[in-house]
Structure formats: C-alpha cells, structure tokens
Amino acid sequence: MAKSADIYYKIHPWKIIEEGFRKEYAMVSESVFSLGNEYMGTRGNFEEGYSGDSLTGNYFNGIYEAADLEKSSYKGMIDKTEFIVNSANWLYTRIQADNEIVDLYTCKFKDYVRILDLKKGILTRSYIWVLENGKEIKLEFERFLSMKDAEIAAQKITLTPLNFSGDIILYSGIDFGLIHHMTGKNMWNIAGSTADNDSISMLGDTISTDQSVLVSCRFQVDCREWSDIEEEKKLVRRFVLSGEQGKSIEFIKIIRNLTRKDIKEEEKENFKTKWGKNQEVLHSLSYQKLREDTINWWKRTWQDSDIVIEGDGLNQQGIRFCIFQMHQTYHGADKGTIIGAKGLTGEAYSGNTFWDTEAYCLPFYIFNNTEAARHLLEFRYLTLEEAMERAKTLDCKGAFYPIATITGRECCSLWQHASLQLQASTAVAYGFWHYENITEDEEFIFENGLSILIEVSRMLASRGDWNKDRTRYGFYGVMGPDEFQMMVNNNCYTNYLGKKTIEYTLSVLKRYSNKNPDGYEKIIKKHCLLAEEIEEFHNIAKHMYIPYQEETGIFEQHEGYFNLPHVDIDKIPIEEFPLYHHWTYDRIYRNDMLKQPDVLMMMLLYNSDFTKEQLKSNYEYYEPRCIHESSLSPSVHSILASQLQKEEEAYKFFGFATRMDLDNYNRNTGEGLHTTSIAAAWMNIVYGFGGMRSDGKLLSFAPSLPKEWEGYAFKIHFKGDILRFKVDKENIKISSKAGLGIQILVYGKPYILGQDEINIPVIL
Ligand code: BGC
C-alpha cells in the first residue's frame, strides 16, 4: 500500500489539536474539524473568511439538487443524477479594524490554536490578529451543533483588543451565495428575508428540486450601533463594537435552520407558517443551556460507546475521532436520513449513500444504538418503490437497489456499476438479516423487511439465469464488490449473497405464515407472490453455483478468474497510485488485480459458513492480489488476518484505519472524511482484535492483543444490556451493565454474563 502518514495534529486522547496553522493543510482541517448532527453538517471553515484554498460547506441530510444527464439511446442508463447541495453559510462572519479585514491567508497572526473536543462536541479556535499598524486583537471562536435539538447551531466569538482601545466592526449573517464545488454553481433562489432588532432570517429554495431551507439567527452583543446590509443571496448585520484595551467583547449567534424536503403542497403551506415561529423559538434559547445539553448528550453517548486503547496514543485518538464521526453523521434521529460516503463533511461522492451503509456502517449501529440501526434500514423500506422502478428499467422484476442514491433513485452514471452491481440489493437483505440475527426483532422484519426481501429475491430470480443444461443457477454479466472485474459471470460473492438472500426470504415467509397466517396472506396478495414463484426461489437457492476449487479450497472470484493474466502488484511504481488516474479504465479490468475484497468480503459477512482452513487459503491467495484502492479494503483484511493469527499483517492493515483522515493517508481528506471507512475502523477493533462474530447463533469473541498495545476495552449494546470487554496482556475481563444473563461464546466456550466481572486468560 503506497501510503504514508502525515501526522499534523497533536496527539491527545480526547482532542484534535491544531497548534499553529499550515495553509497547505487548510482543506484537510476543514474536513477534520467538521461538525454534524445527522440533520446538518458544517465543515470546519474559518467563519471570519479565508481567501486561500477552502470549501465553505454547509449541508443538510436530504437537501439535494438534480442534474439532467445527456440522454442515452441505450436502455438502462440514468438520465438524471442527484447530489447533495451546499446550502447557506449560517456562520458567516467578517471582522474589521482600522480598514483591515482579518483573513488568515493574508494577515499576520500568532498563538493560533484550534481544538475539537470529542468528549464535548465543541469546536474552539483562537489566535492573536496582528494588524499592519501593530494593533493586536485576540480572537476566540467557539461553535457547536445541538445534539438535542438538531435544527440548532450556536456560535460565540470573543474579541479582546490587547494594546489599544477603538472600534471593531463585526459582520455576521446568512450567506446563500455558496458555490457547489463539483458543478461550480450556486443552487439557491432567495424567497425572502426579514430582520428585527436582534435577529435576521433568510429563506432559500433549491433551484430544481423544490426544497427549502429557512435560516434564522439571533444575535446577542453589546454594540454601539448596527445596520443591515442585503446583498445578492446574503443578509448581513454590521455591528460597531467599542473596544476597550484588555476588555473582552462577547458576541453570540444562535441559529435555527429549518428544512422542507417534502414537495407536497400542504407541506409548502405548512412551512410558510414556520417563518415567524423561528424567531420566537430562537428567543427562548440560551447559549449556555444549549451548550450544556450538547455536552451532556455526548457524555451519555461516550459512557456507552467508548473504546479505550492503552499504550497507543495515536490509535486512541484515532478511534475516538471515528466514534465521534459516526455519531455526528447518524444516530437514528430521523427515518428518512442516510449516511453519505463522506457523511456531511464534503461533496465528493455527491452525498450519496452506497452499499457501505448496510455492509460497513450498520454493525456499528446494531451494537451501539439499535434504534438507529432500525431507522437506517427503514430508509430502504421507504425507497422500495424507487428500487422497483429501477428494476423495471433494467428489465428485471422486483426491486433493484441503487448503487448510489439520496432519494432512492439511482444516481450512479457509470453503467458498469449502476447496472452490473447487485450488491446494494443483497446488502440491504443482508442488513435486515444481520439486524434480526442480533436483535431478534422479528416484528420489524415482518413489517418492513419482508416486502423488501420478496422484491429483491424476485429481482434475483429474474436477473440471474440457468446454465445451458439447467443444472445450476448464477448471475451473468455482473460486477462484484471488487470493481476491477467488470461484466463477469458467476461472481462468487454475488452468487453467494444471492443464495443467502433468497434463503432468508424463504425463512421469513415460512415463519410469518406460521405466526401470522392473516398477515402472511395479506403480504402474499400485496406482492402477488405465487406458489410457483416460491418454488422457483427454493430451486434457485438450491442450485446456486458457487465457484470453488476443491483441491485448494479457494473460491474462484468469478468463472475464468483463475486464468486471468497475473499482475505483480508489488512491482507497480508508487507514483502510479491511485491507479484510476494513471491506468486507462480498460487496462484496469484486464488482469487478476483486485481493488478491494470480494471473496474475502463474503467470508467476513458469513464468517461461520467457512472453515479456518478455507479462510486461510483464500486470504493467502487473494490478499497479495489486492491493491486496496478502496479505503474500505484494509480493515476487512485486518479483521481476517486477526482471525488467522497473522498478527503482523493484522496490525499493518489496521495501521491507517483509525487515522485515515487525521493523517490524510489517501491525500484526499480535504474533499471530506471517509465516513464509511471510519465505520470499518470501528469494526477493525471490535471484529478484528476483539474477534467478535455476529453471524452465528450466539455472539462470539476471540480477543487478541496487538503487541504494540498494553490493553484495550470496548462495549457492545446487546439485547437490552451493555457488554463490557477489557483485554490486557493476561486476561479478558467481561461484565455486563444490567447483568441480564446473556450468553456469549469466548474462544468457542459458552459464558453467561452477569454484572460481576469474569476473567478469561487471553490467547495471544
Ligand atoms: C468502492 C465501493 C464503495 C464506494 C463508496 C468505492 O471506491 O469501490 O465499494 O461503495 O467507493 O464508498
């Protein structure tokens, strides 16, 4: 892996600290210092403005724009795509003194420090601005997004003239004039604005998707005079502050952002009435109280989801950053929201959600916040109709889930992915299965999962085919998770996941018919599911072809893979990475090189279906062929390497899991955080070193301790209890918070967990 760490931030167990500001790191830091609360996200931009490289980014989950693509005469291509839209800058600020406006790109400054406090969810920054004439002003900034009331954000600026007394001008407002980075365009029409003594509001409508964002701000500051300036798409209040040497002036801005995603007429009418209400609500809020509530939210959250690593400050900071980002991006507050590949921290991947959600993120929520896991799955239920439309476009029956989406419609304009990858659909089915396996929430599966399972199975039964002699079933012309093998037949992962999906569908149908015959009849009718179709499902699952070489125990990634020309990936010069930029698209597809795990991914998801010998043979065959071009790749290899007691490899692949963004490993953190890889980093510790497996009947663990660590501890929410694991060089100590008597396996042996700690010698 041609990657190296770029350690820029100070190491601290609970804080990300930037001491001194390096301009070349400005965009990376904007991503790293992003704040989010699932509903909205704001990059760590300098609110006072910055004329160097920057992406001023403020996003709302589900507020998007659409663009028409060139119409293709080929059937199945999408002709419209959707992307997250950069909305209003609600933190807009400018600070002026003696005709100079502060700008860290051009001004003189000293004592710069920025701190993201992961424990509290508060971002602070301070420095001394040195004016051309030698005057000095200390500027301190603080901001947070409310975790209790997601529509609220708050900002405090403290200004202290250090060696003079005189006026300081502060501009604060709402700026809808931001440019969407990818398209280079602004996406807002201004529908109105208001201002009164201490607040301003502005309403923006998206240009083509008919959605709205209403931003209202209330100001608290002791000022000599103020006036409003309205420019195109921007409303700003100008405050004249009387600075006194050594005396701090505090400026507070509380922001309430309302969104209208729904385009129904009554929703629009409803939204209009919120205009005045917004100001009213703002008047009832206090900065201190909002701050306390947010700190308490994080306190509660950390209590039950922290991971402690002893003896490794870098990874301790790294994993806490990851956990923080997971909760910021999503915590199940709303059913229709998604996890974009970059969360709410940038515009790369267009804010779209991928199979990453079910395959990589869902485990974090299943074991930290079951309700959030359920809500995440509900998004797929709410978008079943769109998946069924997509199936029709692709000449299939049932439901074909999109590779990339915001609203449920396919947004991926690369047909190789959008038409050939079935893994989003099977990942959705896998997600429901995994959720049920852990929570036993059968009701939810009957209510929300079954419709999806029927329609996805139906799609599989129409997308796949029988071989010439009708002895085996498989999928032809597909692409598996490894995106370097296009248009292949019988991709092992796709066939295996297809088989599992259909088997699970049949099992849920059977259980439902036994437990609720009326409900069963209703759902059968609703989906017009015929007995012959069910019979066909059985047949397909039974005859699904899984390419496997008995003598070696290796699953063939797809038919013919073993005969592909071999590329020695160690001989590819470092300068040629990322390969997408240096090799033609078709050249990538013409050999046995892998972008990311495919067979190995299957072996992780359904781990207990395979023997350790099989895992070893496949790992040793496929890992040397994988270039890990996807950031999702190394953690999966690390988890499996741990299982195979390949400690050094496990640690090597873990090497950049927790710190991928903090150390800018992929050199693209500036575009936004790798949010779904961040989820894989959590898995890397819990499934990797903790050896947890959640695909069996009982939850099982096989902890190991990297020799670089003194110990580690993690927590798992499970069946209404919280299981606590502490691993050191000698022992594994396990207890449960509520002592519900949960049974687990450790190194294959059963244990019942109470509140009292049990001690098991660690196998190193
Ligand atoms: C990976 C996909 C993933 C997508 C979004 C791609 O580079 O190959 O598996 O879904 O990124 O994270």
At 229-275, the pLDDT tens digits run 999 999 999 999 999 999 999 999 999 999 999 888 888 888 878 77
pLDDT band (50, 70, 90) for residue 3: low
> What is the CA(343)–ligand 1 centre distance, in A?
14
Helix (H) or strand (E) holding 318: helix 313-329
Residue with tokens 């300098």, as numbered in its chain: 46
**How open is the CA angle 18-21-27, to the nearest 5 degrees?**
85
* Residue percentage of the chain with pLDDT more than 70: 100
The partner residues of 241 in beta bridges, in order of sequence, read 168
Predicted confidence (pLDDT) at residue 278 exceeds the cutoff of 90: no
- For residue 618, what pLDDT band results from cuts at 50, 70 and 90? very high
pLDDT surpasses 80 at 436 = yes
Residue 274 and residue 468: Cα distance in Å, rounded? 63
Task: Tell me how many helices (H) and strands (E) the chain has.
Answer: 23, 31
CB 744 within 8 A of CB 699: yes
Tens of pLDDT along 512-541?
Answer: 999 999 999 999 999 999 999 999 999 999
Measured CA to CA, the distance from residue 305 to residue 737 in angstroms comes to: 13
For residue 158, the surrounding DSSP H or E stretch is strand 152-161
Does 481 score more than 60 pLDDT? yes
**Residue 342 labelled as part of a binding site:** no
Please tell me whether 596 is known to bind a ligand: yes
Q: How far is the CA of 403 from the centre of ligand 1 (A)?
A: 9
Local confidence band at 156 (pLDDT 50, 70, 90 cut-offs): very high
Query: What pLDDT is stored for residue 264 in this prediction?
Result: 83
Shortest-distance Cα residue to atom 12 of ligand 1: 341
Residue given tokens 């296009």 in the structure block:
486
Distance from Cα 384 to the centre of ligand 1, integer Å: 22
Contacts of 691 (CB under 8 A, 6+ apart): 642, 643, 700, 701, 702, 703, 704
What is the average per-residue pLDDT within 169-187?
95
Cα diameter, the chain: 91
Any bridge partners for residue 225, and if so which?
A: 240
The chain-wide mean pLDDT, for the chain, equals 96
pLDDT of 623-636, one tens digit each?
999 999 999 999 99
Alpha-helical (H) ranges within 684-762 are none
Beta bridge partners of 80: 68
Gap from CA of 482 to ligand 1 centroid (Å): 9
Q: pLDDT, tens digit, for every residue of 386-408?
A: 999 999 999 999 999 999 999 99
| Mean predicted confidence (pLDDT) in 433-462 | 98
- Residue 317, CA distances (Å) to 342, 427, 664 in order: 20, 31, 15
Pocket lining for ligand 1, CB < 6 angstroms: 341, 349, 354-356, 481, 483, 595-596, 630, 632, 676
Alpha carbon distance 141, 158 (integer Å): 7
Q: Give pLDDT, residue 764.
A: 73
Q: Which of 48, 358, 436, 483 is catalytic?
A: 483
Mean pLDDT of 751-763: 95
Cβ atoms of 153 and 143 closer than 8 Å: yes
414: left (phi over 0), alpha (psi -120 to 50) or beta: beta
Is the model's pLDDT at 416 over the cut of 60?
yes
What residue owns the CA closest to ligand 1's atom 8? Answer: 630
489, 503, 534, 699, 738 from 475: Cα distances, Å: 6, 16, 19, 32, 47
Atom of ligand 1 nearest to the CA of 356: 10
Question: Which pLDDT does position 274 carry in this prediction?
Answer: 79
C-alpha to C-alpha distance for 15 and 122, rounded to whole angstroms: 10
Q: Which atom of ligand 1 is nearest to the CA of 596?
A: 8
For the cut 90, the answer to whether the pLDDT of residue 129 exceeds it is yes
- Atom number, ligand 1, closest to the C-alpha of residue 354: 10
| Mean pLDDT computed over 151-166 | 98
Q: Ligand 1 mean position to 564 CA, how many Å?
A: 23
Which of ligand 1's atoms lies nearest the C-alpha of 349?
Answer: 5
Nearest CA to ligand 1 atom 11: 630
Question: Ligand 1: distance of its center to the CA of 54 in Å?
Answer: 25
pLDDT at 265: 85
Residue closest via CA to ligand 1's atom 9 equals 481
Whether pLDDT at 1 is above 60: no
Classified as helix, coil or strand, 154 is strand
Q: Could you tell me if 188 and 206 are in contact, meaning their C-beta atoms sit under 8 angstroms apart?
A: yes
The answer to whether residue 674 scores a pLDDT higher than 90 is: yes
Tens digits of per-residue pLDDT, 542-592? Answer: 999 999 999 999 999 999 999 999 999 999 998 898 898 899 999 999 999
Q: Which domains are seen in the chain, by residue range?
A: 15-66+82-270 (2.70.98.40), 336-627 (1.50.10.10)
Whether pLDDT at 2 is above 70: no
C-alpha Rg value of the chain to the nearest Å: 27
CA–centroid distance, residue 630 to ligand 1 (Å): 6
Using the predicted structure, report yes or no on whether residue 709 has a pLDDT greater than 90.
yes
Sheet holding 35-36, edge to edge: 35-36, 40-42, 58-60
Rounded CA-CA distance 473/499 in Å is 10
Closest CA to 202 of 128, 145, 256: 256
Contact 417, 479 (CB under 8 A): yes
Q: Which of 622, 629, 634, 624 is nearest to 582 (CA)?
A: 629
Q: Using the mean position of ligand 1's atoms as its centre, give its distance from the Cα of residue 685 in Å.
A: 21
Confidence of residue 428 (pLDDT cuts 50, 70, 90): very high
Tell whether 355 is in a known binding site. Answer: yes
Atom of ligand 1 nearest to the CA of 341: 12
Residue having the nearest C-alpha atom to atom 6 of ligand 1: 630
Distances (CA, A) of 90 to 49, 216, 246, 256: 13, 8, 29, 9
Distance from Cα 667 to the centre of ligand 1, integer Å: 17
Q: What angle do helix axes 313-329 and 287-305 make, rounded to 10 degrees?
A: 120
Strands of 249-260's sheet in order across: 15-19, 108-117, 122-130, 136-145, 152-161, 249-260, 212-220, 199-206, 188-195
Is residue 556 among the annotated active site residues?
Answer: no
Q: Could you tell me the two tokens for 560?
A: 């013919």
pLDDT number for residue 510 = 98
**Is residue 45 predicted with pLDDT exceeding 60?**
yes
Nearest atom in ligand 1 to 631's CA: 7
**395 annotated ligand binder:** no
Average pLDDT over residues 478-507: 98
Residue having the nearest C-alpha atom to atom 4 of ligand 1: 354
